[in-house]
Amino acid sequence: MRIDSLRLQLLRWLLLPLAGLVAVNVFTSWRQASATADLVTDRTLDASVRAIAEDVRIDRGVIDAIVPPVALEMFDTGHRDRVFYRVDTAAGRLLTGYPDLPLPEPPPKASAPVHFTGSYRGNDLRLAALSYPLVGATDGERVTVVVGVTLAGHAAMVRELWVGNFGQQLILLVAAGVLVIIGLGRGLAPLMRLREAVMEKGRDDLSPLPDHAVQSELRPLVAALNTYMGRVAGQMAAQRRFVANAAHQLRTPLALLSTQVAFARRTGEAAERAEALAGAEESTRRLARLASQLLTLSRAEPGSRRPRDEDIDLAQSARQVLEGLAHLAVERDIDLGLDVNAAAVTRGDGAMMREAVVNLVENALRYTPKGGTVTVTVDGGAGEAGSEAVLVVEDSGPGIPLEERDKVFERFYRVLGTPGEGSGIGLSIVREVVDGAGGTLVLGTAAAGGLRVEMRLPGV
Amino acid sequence: MRLLLVEDNHELADWLAKILRRDNFVVDVLNDGEAADQALSLETYDLVILDLGLPRMGGMQLLKRLRSRANAVPVIILTANASLDGRVAGLDEGADDYLAKPFDIAELEARIRVQLRRSARRPDPVITCGTLAFDTNTRLFRLGPEPLALTPREHAVLEALLIKAGQTVSKAQLSQSIFGLDDLADPSAIEIYVHRLRKKLEGSDVRIVTLRGLGYLLQHAH
Tens of pLDDT, residue by residue over A315-348, are: 899 998 898 888 888 988 999 989 888 888 888 8
Average pLDDT rounded to a whole number, residues A374-380: 89
Q: Average per-residue pLDDT in chain A?
A: 83
Query: Nearest to residue A126, comparing CAs of A144, A96, A146, A106?
Result: A146
Chain B residues touching A259 at Cβ < 8 A? 12, 15-16, 19, 105
| CATH number of the domain that residue B67 is part of | 3.40.50.2300
Same domain, residue pair B149 and B181: yes
Contact B56/A at CB under 8 A: yes
Same domain, residue pair A406 and A446: yes
Residue A291 has pLDDT above 60, yes or no: yes
| CATH number of the domain that residue A417 is part of | 3.30.565.10
Same domain, residue pair A151 and A246: no
Same domain, residue pair B7 and B103: yes
Query: Nearest to residue A26, comparing CAs of A175, A160, A176, A170?
Result: A170
- pLDDT band for position A262 (cuts 50, 70, 90): very high
Contact B110/A at CB under 8 A: no
The torsion angles phi and psi of B179, rounded to 5 degrees, stand at: -100, 125
Contacting residues for A93 by C-beta, under 8 A, at least 6 apart: none
Same domain, residue pair A413 and A277: no
Same domain, residue pair B111 and B141: no
Q: Give tens-digit pLDDT for A107-146.
A: 777 778 889 998 888 889 999 998 888 877 777 788 888 9
Chain A residues touching B16 at Cβ < 8 A? 259
Same domain, residue pair A331 and A454: yes
Q: What integer pLDDT is reported at residue A229 of this predicted model?
A: 85
Chain B nearest-CA distance from A322, in A, is: 30
Average pLDDT rounded to a whole number, residues A150-163: 88
The torsion angles phi and psi of B146, rounded to 5 degrees, stand at: -90, 140
Q: What integer pLDDT is reported at residue B18 of this predicted model?
A: 93
Same domain, residue pair A265 and A346: no
Domain that holds residue B213: 126-220
Chain B nearest-CA distance from A276, in A, is: 8
Indicate the residue of A258, A266, A420 with minimum beta-carbon distance to B10: A420
Q: Give tens-digit pLDDT for A161-191.
A: 888 878 888 888 888 888 888 887 887 787 7
Query: Nearest to residue A264, comparing CAs of B153, B22, B138, B124?
Result: B22
Domain that holds residue A22: 6-159
Choice among A131-140, A296-305, B19-28, B70-79 with the minimum mean pLDDT: A296-305
The torsion angles phi and psi of A43, rounded to 5 degrees, stand at: -60, -45
**CB of A97 closer than 8 Å to CB of A67:** yes
Residue A193 placed within a domain? no
Average pLDDT rounded to a whole number, residues A374-388: 77
SS (H, E, C) A151-193: CHHHHHHHHHHHHHHHHHHHHHHHHHHHHHHHHHHHHHHHHHH
Residue A439 placed within a domain? yes
Same domain, residue pair A355 and A437: yes
Q: Where among A300, A322, A356 does a domain terminate?
A: A300
Average pLDDT rounded to a whole number, residues B57-86: 89
Residue A86 placed within a domain? yes
Contact A259/B at CB under 8 A: yes
Residue B68 has pLDDT above 70, yes or no: yes
Q: Where among A300, A318, A349 does a domain terminate?
A: A300
Total number of domains in chain B: 2
Contact B12/A at CB under 8 A: yes
Q: Where among B91, B119, B147 does a domain terminate?
A: B119
Q: Where among B119, B152, B187 does a domain terminate?
A: B119
Total number of domains in chain A: 3
Residue A204 placed within a domain? no
Same domain, residue pair B83 and B19: yes
Same domain, residue pair A250 and A316: no
Give B 170-199 residues with CB within 8 A of chain A. none
- pLDDT band for position A387 (cuts 50, 70, 90): confident
Average pLDDT rounded to a whole number, residues A420-431: 73
Instruction: Estimate the crossing angle of helix B187-201 against helix B171-178, to 10 degrees.
Output: 90
Same domain, residue pair A321 and A347: yes
CA angle A301, A302, A308 (to 5 degrees): 95
Same domain, residue pair A11 and A152: yes
Q: Which string of b and e fits B76-104 if b means at least 16 CB within 10 Å?
A: bbbbbbbeeebbebbeebebbbbbbbbbe
- pLDDT band for position A399 (cuts 50, 70, 90): confident
Residue A172 placed within a domain? no
Same domain, residue pair A356 and A450: yes
Does ipTM surpass 0.85 in this model? no
Residue A214 placed within a domain? no
Q: What integer pLDDT is reported at residue A382 of this predicted model?
A: 56
Same domain, residue pair A384 and A256: no
**Which residue would you say has higher pLDDT here, A246 or A16?**
A16
**CB of B127 closer than 8 Å to CB of B136:** yes
Are the beta carbons of B12 and A256 separated by less than 8 Å?
A: yes
Q: Give tens-digit pLDDT for A49-59.
A: 888 888 888 87
Are the beta carbons of B105 and A258 separated by less than 8 Å?
A: yes
Same domain, residue pair A13 and A154: yes
